[in-house]
């Protein structure tokens, strides 16, 4: 019996003496109630991760009331489509184990930040399943260890090391690449191709 369920929800009156005049009638009513409870228990946790992902997309990811930005939604979709669903899609939620997920994350050839994002997306999916009563246990991803620490320090560029500045682009006759700068950290800017006129 689940101790997390309040006592008043663990009890149910099946009928009174007028409705169930004999012991055999009461036993049948209780047996019917047991079958209902067992059917609900059997259904809980029998959802695969792919089915939980479909539910998450329908009720949370694309819900305008949740207020996720389009880029956040796209990030979720990309990680689930490319990384999570191919590996874990057919696995039942009950069969997801923290140690197995941790081992899988270590095997991925991704940066620690990307692995941490995958772990966080999985955790959000389990929290969603718990909130919608699709899963009754604790979130197994909560105990997955994955750091987001960088493997190496970023290369910070000086003003003279910028890939493209006004003096260099004036000398060029073909298309040029312009860096949209949010700081001079190599690999963290975005490039846009521009044509010279």
Q: Is residue 148 part of a domain?
A: no
| Predicted pLDDT of residue 9 | 61
What residues pair up with 194 in beta bridges, in sequence order? 176
Q: Is residue 170 predicted with pLDDT exceeding 80?
A: no
Work out the burial of residue 133: count CB atoms within 10 Å of its CB; fewer than 13 is exposed, 13-18 middle, 19 or more buried.
Answer: exposed
pLDDT digits (tens, 9 = 90+) for 95-144: 999 999 999 998 998 888 899 999 999 999 999 999 998 888 899 999 88
Rounded Cα gap, residues 33 and 158, in angstroms: 74
Q: Is residue 65 part of a domain?
A: yes
Do 54 and 88 belong to one domain?
yes
Residue 98 DSSP code: H
pTM: 0.58
| Predicted pLDDT of residue 8 | 61
Do 185 and 118 belong to one domain?
no
Rounded Cα gap, residues 14 and 150, in angstroms: 60
pLDDT digits (tens, 9 = 90+) for 10-45: 677 777 888 778 887 777 777 766 766 665 555 555
Structure tokens at 156: 């910070």
Do 57 and 128 belong to one domain?
yes
Do 34 and 57 belong to one domain?
no
Expressed as residue numbers, the domain containing 82 is 49-143
Do 65 and 120 belong to one domain?
yes
For the chain, state the CA radius of gyration.
27
Do 123 and 62 belong to one domain?
yes
Do 177 and 134 belong to one domain?
no
SS3 state at 92:
strand
pLDDT digits (tens, 9 = 90+) for 32-88: 667 666 655 555 558 999 999 999 998 888 887 888 888 999 999 999 999 999 999
Do 38 and 59 belong to one domain?
no
Do 26 and 76 belong to one domain?
no
Cα distances from 76 to residues 33, 34, 49, 79, 117, in angstroms, run 41, 40, 14, 5, 9
Residue linked to tokens 């009890």: 11
| Helical packing angle, 112-131 and 70-79, nearest 10° | 100
Count of domains for the chain: 3
Helix then strand count (H, E) for the chain reads 8, 2
Higher pLDDT, 29 or 194: 29
CATH at residue 53: 1.10.150.130
């Amino acid at each position: 019996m689940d101790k997390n369920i309040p006592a008043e929800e663990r009890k149910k009156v099946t009928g009174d003496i007028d409705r169930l005049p004999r012991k055999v009638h009461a036993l049948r009513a209780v047996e019917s109630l047991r079958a209902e409870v067992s059917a609900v228990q059997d259904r809980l946790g029998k959802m695969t991760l792919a089915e939980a992902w479909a539910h998450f997309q329908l009720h949370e990811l694309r819900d305008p009331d949740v207020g996720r930005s389009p880029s956040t939604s796209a990030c979720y979709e990309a990680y689930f489509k490319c990384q999570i669903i191919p590996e874990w899609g057919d696995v039942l939620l009950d069969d997801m184990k923290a140690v197995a997920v941790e081992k899988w994350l270590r095997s991925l050839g991704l940066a620690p930040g990307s692995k941490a994002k995958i772990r966080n997306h999985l955790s959000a999916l389990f929290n969603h399943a718990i909130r919608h009563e699709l899963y009754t246990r604790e979130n197994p991803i909560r105990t997955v260890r994955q750091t987001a620490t960088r493997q190496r320090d970023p290369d910070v560029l000086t003003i003279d090391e910028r890939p493209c500045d006004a003096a260099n682009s004036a000398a060029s006759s073909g298309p040029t690449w312009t860096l949209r700068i949010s700081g001079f950290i190599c690999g963290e800017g975005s490039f846009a191709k521009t044509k010279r006129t």
